[in-house]
Amino acid sequence: MALYRAHVLVCGEPRCVARGAQEVQAALVAKLEELGLGQEIQVLETTALGHGDQGPEIVVYPEGTHYVNLTPDDARLIAEEHLLKGRPVTRLIYKELPTEPLPPPAAKEVRVVLRNIGKIDPESIDDYIAEEGYQALAKVLSEMTPQQVIDEVLRSGLRGRGGAGFPAGKKWAFAAAQPGPDKYLICNGDEGDPGAFMNRRVLEGDPHAVIEGMIIAGYATGAHQGYFYVRAEYPIAVRTLRIAIQQARDYGLLGKNILGSGFDFDLELRMGAGAFVCGEETALMASIEGQRGMPRTRPPFPAVKGLWGKPTNINNVETYANVPQIILKGAEWFAARGTEKSKGTKTFAVAGKVKRTGLIEVPFGITLREIVYDVGGGILNDKKFKAVQTGGPMGGCIPEQYLDTPVDYETLGQLGSIMGSGGFVVMDEDTCMVDIARFFMEFAQDESCGKCVPCRVGTRRMLEILEDICAGKGQPGDIERLEALAQEVRLGSLCGLGQGAPNPVLSTIKYFRHEYEAHIYDHKCPAKVCKGLIEYKIDPAACTGCTACARNCPVSCITGKPKQTHVIDPEICIRCGICQQVCKFGAVLVE
Amino acid sequence: MGEVEMSHVQTLVERHHADPEALVEILRELNQQSGYLTRETIVAVAEALRLPVSQVFSVASFYSMISLAPVGRHVIRFCEDAPCHMVGGRQVWQALEAALGIKFGETTPDGEWTLLPTSCIGLCAVGPVMMVDNDVYGNLTPEKVPEILARYAGGAQ
């Protein structure tokens, strides 16, 4: 038996072969022969090595060195450098990025904020610098006055990306106009909208873009201390930020006399503790100050009186992340994309019943249809599109007839929804819109801070009505009661949570009233979701009596002898759907 | 409350320079260390920061990641929001309750598992999603539940 001193495993999966794995293997084997190593090193073809999209790939044992994206020339190099001379070729080794990579951009995507995600190592400031990182800061500190920076951001048309869409330059101008010297900057990283994860990816994958934006904002507004407020549910983002902040300090990009300009600015991290309402700016500041995260009235606005009573500029992660590119490439470049009042690009977190979920970045003005079908790949299992919910729990559901609407702040508002932070949940024919409204109202109820009676009690009452409707106990007049309550909650609430909580209900009533009516008057759930309104029945024509359903039923509500038609007892049935999943004959129907 | 815990509180408070504004941070860190906060801990924090006990309690009871009730050795936080629900969350929810023999919000009698719903944790593209302690699991199906739970059995992890 030959004794080999090293083994090389080559991935022979079809995907790798399609990318030239066989040529790579042949080159490797040939070179090893040429170097006289053919008897010492065994080359084996194997199944997937784990990084499917990075083939051709090999692993060298006993070291376990994993090389990816190889060409035949790379293979020859590895043979000579690593296998003969014992020097691994580091530039070809697989580098595990702490965050998952983004798929390549779809045709209609334009990646500005997302440009570095998955391409650079977020724990390497050098990687960021190599991608024009901190050049905008250098330009600002050496060539521009604070007022010029504000003017540039104003001209770009950048609107706050957290949801309200207030012009960022205007906000900065307010803070800049306040007397110093104590002023603060806050980055709102408390992304809590169900369905939203854009900020998480940016903080995890390109933290320096946000840091650079904040330093520039600090210079423009006259703030010397900034705070990141990040939700505790994002531990990787917290870790990446801590590392990035320290690296920036080490490089003199944070701290005193940045780049020799005389400008001091530093950043600290603060974490949330699980309260959605702390995404609201005044609640966020209360949380930093060690209190319950409850909003307060505005005016005074944070720009005038914010953290510890001092002028504070607070912006979303994505707003800051856009700033370095605007400074480097100019306001005109930014404003060239988008619509008349909504300039630039926006990230969206596409979730729900689409083929391609995940993060995208597209220019404003793209239509809903393009996002769902061109970028999202269309509806999962080719089912029928029903609605898209934009803007998170304070947003609305938009039905099929508006799919060709170009997306911007104004158009979404006109349709009864909001831009929000970029949540984009796609629903199909199997989604019950009343159930969805109930879900979002439950969320609002859970997260209501309790300060305002209309929000605290109003959302509870609305939720009770929605739960009754979904359970089949809806009463005539419920829809009207929901609409009336919605007005009171909206008008009587101090902050965006209460003001927006009725939106999912109102928009689903507006566009899907027939579903509400079916629940209440016909005791039917058209989408067959609401447990109290559906029945699982076995079709005697299709049932073969195989007993699979009865054996798998968690509540043993199915009776029947082998080879005879089985029957479900609707009184005991909990509508879990397991019987339908295990039936191989399509004999379980939902009505 | 034993000596060890008291010194924990003292160390933490000193690290934050006994600043009452660090209250949320201190409570969150204590909760992460011990899973939940006892009455004694709340009182100790209040004394260390020179704050009224009622104020510390009011802050502790506000934030969902600070627990005032005992939790099991392992805590499951399952996302209960719409985007996860729509892609099969309900079936996984039921599978979790069935596998552990408890309902959401409860702890198993042997003190091993606490099952809690949580608001969106930002992993919607791979829903349904849950956290077991600090580990995150996505693309959940009812079939995967027993296998994931088994990884934590017998003192492992």
For B49-73, write each residue's pLDDT tens digit: 999 999 999 999 999 889 998 899 8
Query: How does pLDDT run along chain A (591 residues), one tens digit per residue?
Result: 567 888 898 887 777 787 888 899 999 999 999 999 888 888 888 776 655 567 788 888 888 788 888 899 999 999 999 988 888 887 787 765 545 567 778 778 999 999 998 788 888 999 999 999 999 999 999 999 999 999 999 999 999 999 989 999 999 999 999 998 999 999 999 998 888 889 998 999 899 999 999 999 999 999 999 999 999 888 889 999 999 999 999 999 999 999 999 999 999 999 999 899 999 999 999 999 999 999 999 899 999 999 999 999 999 999 999 999 999 999 999 999 999 999 999 999 998 899 888 889 999 999 999 999 998 889 999 999 999 999 999 999 999 999 999 999 999 999 999 999 999 999 999 999 999 999 999 999 999 999 999 999 999 999 999 999 999 999 999 999 999 999 999 999 999 999 999 999 999 999 999 999 999 999 999 998 898 888 899 999 999 989 888 888 888 899 988 988 999 998 888 887 888 888 888 889 888
Residues B54 and B104 in one domain: no
Domains of chain A in sequence order: 6-92 (3.40.30.10), 125-335 (3.40.50.11540), 345-428 (3.10.20.600), 433-521 (1.20.1440.230), 535-590 (3.30.70.20)
Judgement on whether residues B149 and B87 belong to the same structural domain of the protein? yes
Position B112 in a domain: yes
CATH number at residue B113: 3.40.30.10
Q: Is B68 contained in some domain? A: no
DSSP A80-92: IIIIIT----GGG
- Is residue B67 domain-resident? no
Of B31, B60, B89, the residue at which a domain comes to its end is B60
d(Cα A45, Cα A333) in Å, to the nearest integer?
A: 50
**Could you tell me if B124 and B86 lie in one domain?**
yes
Q: Are residues B117 and B89 in the same domain?
A: yes
CB B63 to CB A389 under 8 A? no
Query: Between A197, A289, A292, which is nearest B122 by CB?
Result: A197
Among the partner-chain residues A192, A275, A439, the one whose CB lies closest to the CB of B63 is: A275
Six token digits for residue A340: 């008349």
Residues B113 and B51 reside in one and the same domain: no
Verify that B47 and B88 share a domain, yes or no: no
B85 and B42, same domain (yes or no): no
Nearest-CA distance A201 → chain B (Å): 9
Considering only CB atoms, which chain A residues are within 8 Å of B98? 554
B42 and B81 fall within a common domain: no
Closest CA to A545 of A516, A566, A525: A566
- Claim to verify: residue B12 and residue B78 sit in the same structural domain: no
Residue of A460, A427, A424, A435 whose CA lies nearest to A445: A460
Q: List the beta strands (DSSP E) in B62-138.
A: 74-79, 113-118, 130-132, 135-137
Please indicate, yes or no, if residue B125 is contained in any of the structural domains: yes
Same domain, B143 and B80: yes
How far apart are the C-alpha atoms of A538 and B1, rounded to whole Å?
Answer: 59
Q: Does B86 touch chain A (CB under 8 A)?
A: yes
Do B150 and B91 sit in the same domain of this protein? yes
Tokens 């920061």, residue located: B49
Two tokens at A207? 């933290």
B65, part of any domain: no
Look up residue A65 and give its two tokens.
């060195």
The answer to whether residue B146 is domain-embedded is: yes
| Chain A CB within 8 Å of residue B6 CB | no
CA atoms within 13 A on the CB side of A530: 29
Q: B66 in a domain, yes or no?
A: no
Q: Which of B15, B36, B60 is the last residue of a domain?
A: B60
Which of B60, B85, B106 is the endpoint of a domain? Answer: B60
B11: contact with A, CB 8 A cutoff? no
Q: What domain range is B109 assigned to?
A: 74-155
| Domains held by chain B: number | 2
**ipTM, interface predicted TM-score of the complex:** 0.85
B69 inside domain: no
Tokens matching residue A429 = 């024919």
A276 contacts B119? CB cut-off 8 A? yes
Per the structure block, which two tokens stand in for B137?
């699991």
Partner residue facing B125 (CB), from A358, A389, A443: A358
Spacing of C-alpha B65 from chain mean position:
6
Which of chain A's residues have a Cβ under 8 Å away from the Cβ of B64? 273-275
Mark whether B82 and B128 lie in a shared domain: yes
Nearest by CB to residue B24, choosing from A197, A273, A436, is A273
